[in-house]
Amino acid sequence: MGAELHEECGVFGIYDAQGDCARSTYYGLYALQHRGQEDCGIATINDLDLSCHKGAGLVGDVFSESILAGLNGTTAIGHVRYGANGPKTGAAQPLTLTYIKGSLAVAHNGNLINSAELKLEYEHKGAVFHTSTDSEIIAYIIAQARLHSGSIEASVNQAMKRLKGAYSLVVMSSRKLLAARDPWGFRPLCIGRKGDAVVFASETCALDSVGATFVRDVEPGEVVWVYKGEMHSNRDNCAGEASLCIFEHIYFARPDSIIDGQSVYDSRILAGRLLARENRITGNVVIGVPDSGLVAAKGYSMETGIPYNDGFIKNRYIGRTFIQPVQASREEAVKIKLNPLRATVDGKSVIVVDDSIVRGTNTVQIVRRLREAGATEVHLLIASPPYVSPCYFGTDIPSKTELFACKYTTDEMRTIIGADTLAFLSLDGLRKIAPDSGCGFCEACFTEKYPIS
């Protein structure tokens, strides 16, 4: 089940001299809630006065009217988080600090692969780190660079030369709002405008939520900054082939977002159509596993003419299943979260479309529950190739020992799952799902070929 995947977070930033930046950031984070449900935060700057509120939980639980009213400023950044690569101390963001050049706040999406080396290097120089997050390392490197450079944007540009891995950043100094994306473009980051206001966000759906108009994506390697309402850019680090995480289109991003020119909804429809062209299965009804399997299931139905219908009713009041820290808890959460719709599947040969299989345990339950609801046949089709390799760029799959496809053949997986059919989208098919994209993709989780050694 796609919900076994664990992606790190979403970021939002806004400069608006006339508006309520904290409230706009609140709405932006609401739109990005799917990218992180563990904790969230908002930081603002008003006449050099830095304020920040953050805490564990959903955006609607962490912030109240009174808290938002106390976050005054013409600039704000915000963050929603899942914890990648295990628990971290002091992980809630934005990370804020005050140093000799003033105030600094950083919010980060991604995962550095050289964070341990960087941390050790600076500790040997006397640095004291108070959290175990990459964001503190990034903030420290930017602050250090600022001591020897003429501007905060030059400092961010210089810091990027030390950072290796995935990072989409929003950075707020005393007078400027900045956004930066790693040279490989692993994670999305876009720019919008609302009148004189400038907005940065992980996805375009967050721009929509605050009434901003999409301008363009931040280019891989680019630093963009806003000073007194004017937007500027530095492309010194723009080089090489971009490698956006392909799982943004398969699972992570909201379907109403557009990333690097490609509609996520259209890419999932096309994934379902390609899945059907590769795997023609006879059945009575096509259903999708909520939420990220639904659009691909519609694409499969469009291509084959087999009717699409709702197969599961989702309880919207619990989070994604991988939030549960113990596997037994995750399995119970699946039962609470997804309930088969007997009227759709009883007595039917059911074609089930999901976005991926990672560990496989939840998939077993889904097939079992469909049979208990009366399905005579269950044909499981996956709108991505087998997941065979861990990710080091912010998706929390720590080792191959946890990956279902690394332990069993497709036929063995089918037997364990209890499905009549199990088939995956081919790698060639996957490479066709984003024809309008302006960038390349990292597909290492399917190929073991990483953009960075």
> Under the phi-then-psi rule, with left for phi > 0, alpha for psi from -120 to 50, and beta for the rest, what region is 108?
beta
Determine if the peptide bond prior to 386 is cis (ω within 30°): no
Q: What share of the chain is helix, strand, coil (3-state, %, to 5)?
A: 35, 25, 40
3-state secondary structure of 7: strand
Closest CA to 264 of 289, 296, 286, 241: 296
Question: Quick check: 178 and 171 in contact, CB under 8 A?
Answer: yes
> What is the DSSP annotation of 346-368?
TTSEEEEEES--SS-HHHHHHHH
Distance, CA of 199 to CA of 176 (rounded, Å): 13
Please say if 190 is a catalytic residue: no
Question: Quick check: 91 and 114 in contact, CB under 8 A?
Answer: no
Question: Counting Cβ atoms within 10 Å, is residue 340 exposed (0-12), middle (13-18) or buried (19+)?
Answer: buried
Residue that the structure tokens 């690569």 belong to:
85
Sign of the alpha-carbon dihedral angle for 369, 373, 377, 379: negative
Other CB atoms within a 10 A radius of the CB of residue 392 amount to 18
Question: Counting Cβ atoms within 10 Å, is residue 255 exposed (0-12), middle (13-18) or buried (19+)?
Answer: middle
Token pair of 151, please?
A: 């501007």
How far CA 100 is from CA of 148, 172, 363, in Å, comes to 12, 15, 53
Q: Exactly one of 9, 21, 245, 391 is catalytic; which is it?
A: 9
**DSSP 8-state class, residue 147:** T
Q: How many CA atoms lie within 13 A of 43 on its CB side?
A: 24
Closest CA to 40 of 50, 28, 51, 53: 53
3-state secondary structure of 259: strand
Residue that the structure tokens 């709702």 belong to:
310
Token pair of 422, please?
A: 């199990």
Distance, CA of 138 to CA of 119 (rounded, Å): 10
3-state secondary structure of 103: strand
> Which residues are known catalytic residues?
9
